[in-house]
Amino acid sequence: MEHLCIRIGDDERTGLVVLDEVNGFCTVGHGNLAPRAPDAQVERMVDETVRIAREFRSRHLPVLAFLDCHDPNKPENPYPPHCLVGSGEEELVPDLKWFEDDDEVVLVRKDCINGFVGAMRPDGSNTVVDWINANKIQRILVVGVCTDICVLDFVATMTSVRNHGISPPLEEIVVYAQGCSTYDLPLAVAKEIGAVAHPQDLAHHMGLYLTAARGAKIVDSVQFAAEIHPNGVKKV
- Tell me the angle at which helices 152-163 and 200-213 cross, rounded to the nearest 10 degrees: 0
In a domain, 234, yes or no: no
Report the Cα 187 to chain-centroid distance in Å. 26
In a domain, 118, yes or no: yes
For residues 21 and 43, give the distance between their C-alpha atoms in angstroms, rounded to a whole number: 11
In a domain, 40, yes or no: yes
Closest CA to 130 of 64, 176, 175, 69: 64
In a domain, 235, yes or no: no
In a domain, 108, yes or no: yes
For residues 181 and 44, give the distance between their C-alpha atoms in angstroms, rounded to a whole number: 8
Return the CATH number at 182.
Answer: 3.40.50.850
In a domain, 115, yes or no: yes
- What's the domain range around 47? 5-224
For residues 179 and 22, give the distance between their C-alpha atoms in angstroms, rounded to a whole number: 14
Number of domains in the chain: 1
* Residue 70 identity: H
In a domain, 233, yes or no: no
For residues 154 and 141, give the distance between their C-alpha atoms in angstroms, rounded to a whole number: 12
* Residue 109 β-bridge partners: 67
Supply the pLDDT for residue 2. Answer: 59
Supply the pLDDT for residue 235. Answer: 42
In a domain, 230, yes or no: no
* Residue 12 β-bridge partners: none
155: three-class secondary structure by DSSP:
helix
Supply the pLDDT for residue 232. Answer: 37
* 3-class SS letters over 185-228: ECHHHHHHHCCCCECHHHHHHHHHHHHHHCCCEEECEEEECCEE
What's the whole-model pTM score?
A: 0.92
Residue ranges in the chain modelled with pLDDT below 50: 228-236
